[in-house]
Chain A
């Protein structure tokens, strides 16, 4: 941006307001300073705090906290919920994006709005609607209990809540890319006799590769960190229905601060990895 400004002004031979006068430079450093300070206090400090607090009692204690049986079972449950949420939402995202961008039909806007609905709903309300659907007062409860299917305060509820809060994450990334690409290439391929799967694999997928990957990363990030909705449906049965964020809450509530931060540090590492992947995906995507 700055280079472009300089070119414009030198070509025209006028005095550009972007030329760095002393006042402009002062404003520049002031604004950069304010930004760096703000992000340092609001983002970097909390991250550093997690790491410092988790190693406060030494590496041995840290290792104990991280390899605690409850923590390991929480990690496994978090992974399970995340993998299932990513799988379901990838399938949904691909089909939904295909349906919305490749065809014309009535009510397309309504459909897109409905797909986006879960992100506007508070996580607590997301949990509430599943309690109302599958809980004791619901119409399907007698059927569920007759077949010994537990949803509320059980693992299926946690997985459903995770799928709900991340529902539009992948379709939302793919949609705009497919929209911009149009339907010409697919139509040409279809007229030449290519099957749906071939069209998707050879034409559509290469276009949306990066958007899909980015969506998966976002979905995974949100899925493993979901707290509110999962908290409503979990019942907090230790070793059974506790995910990593809930384990953090339990330990913190028990005043086991060091352990709470040690478990958090796992999530911090995952978050940083996700940010790095995000940056790489975005960078490579832009290069293309």
Chain B
């Protein structure tokens, strides 16, 4: 873009307001994290993040977030497929419901899931018949994270599926491919970037999730203690250095996930543009 005279008014004002608010709300507070980190030595940070209890919390957080997002990846594709390809009564209601985890406060979801999956709750009784405890175990964390992550994969796959031309499937069908083969060879490759994007976003969200998990997790050290909870308890003990060190690891993970998701999206849009 060559230097152009700006015809539309308001550049200075809008840019000024944008940068001022961005700095006040986001940049300065984030910078204070950097400033605080700079006061700590690398060995100090390393000592904190390699504590056994902290490492155990990383394992719990990553494992449960991964399983929950994987479940949502599968269910997300099924839900998107059902919502796009089939017609049935109350479809709009089902579609509108998907966003509930965004609208419902996490603490409410947390206590509700806890009472449902406790031994005395409706779902908890069902599972305990098979000798499975859900609430206050890692399984409980996974249930809460599945709830939180439902919208991500559905909403990223849905638009792709809507645009997918059924002619390709018909062509494959006429060439004699079975329905399962068509799904794996024709449909799934088209959806794959959207699935990974949705999975990545859900995974990132689940790693940082706090409200819905703390109630159902039971929060036993080494077993069901998630990383955000450790940061929270360090803060309550005014141990800001430990909290900051652990937060840095979480931030790094979040940015890495965001970076990978962006890579997938750039790659994907290139394919889409190249195809036409």
Q: Give the B-binding residues of A (Cβ under 8 A).
A: 1-2, 4-5, 8-9, 14-18, 23-24, 27-28, 31-32, 34-36, 38-39, 41-47, 49-50, 53, 88, 91-92, 95-96, 98-100, 102-105, 111, 114-115, 117-118, 120-125, 127-133, 135-138, 160, 163-164, 167, 183, 186-187, 190-191, 195-196, 199-200, 218, 221-222, 224-228, 231-232, 244-246, 248-249, 252, 257, 260-261, 264, 267-268, 271-272, 274-276, 278-279
Contact = CB atoms under 8 A, between A and B. Distances in A.
B81 interface: yes
B21 A88 contact: yes
A193 B10 CA distance: 14
B100 A191 contact: no
B29 A34 contact: no
B49 interface: no
B258 interface: yes
Given A124-B208, A187-B8, A17 B182 contact: yes
Contact of A121 (B25, B208, B244): B208
Nearest to A218: B102
A114 to B, nearest CB: 6
Nearest to A235: B236
Contact of B243 (A15, A114, A128, A228): A128
A230 to B, nearest CB: 10
A43 B150 contact: yes
Contact of A31 (B82, B94, B146, B172): B82
Given A99-B14, A123-B208, A132-B240, A31 B81 contact: yes
What DSSP secondary structure best describes chain B's contact surface?
helix
Given A43-B150, A245-B107, A227 B211 contact: yes
17 contacts: A17-B179, A24-B179, A38-B75, A43-B147, A45-B123, A104-B1, A114-B27, A127-B235, A132-B36, A133-B28, A135-B240, A186-B8, A231-B211, A248-B107, A261-B112, A264-B107, A271-B100
B60 interface: no
Nearest to B28: A133
Interface in B1-58: 1, 4, 6-11, 13-15, 17-18, 21-22, 25-30, 32-33, 35-36
Chain A facing B: main interface SS: helix
Interface stretch (B133-141, B189-197, B248-256): B248-256
Given A2-B87, A99-B14, A275-B97, A227 B33 contact: no
Given A122-B250, A199-B9, A96 B14 contact: yes
B184 interface: no
Given A114-B26, A190-B9, A2 B86 contact: yes
A271 B105 contact: yes
A196 B10 contact: yes
Contacts of A45: 116, 122-123
Given A8-B167, A167-B25, A190-B7, A121 B116 contact: no
A53 B115 contact: yes
Contact of B122 (A49, A91, A245): A49
B13 A95 contact: yes
A103 B210 contact: no
Nearest to A228: B210
Contacts of A99: 11, 14-15, 18
B88 interface: yes
A124 B103 contact: no
B258 to A, nearest CB: 5
Given A24-B179, A132-B240, A120 B258 contact: yes
Contacts of B106: 225, 227-228, 245
B102 A222 contact: yes
Contacts of B25: 88, 118, 160, 163-164, 167
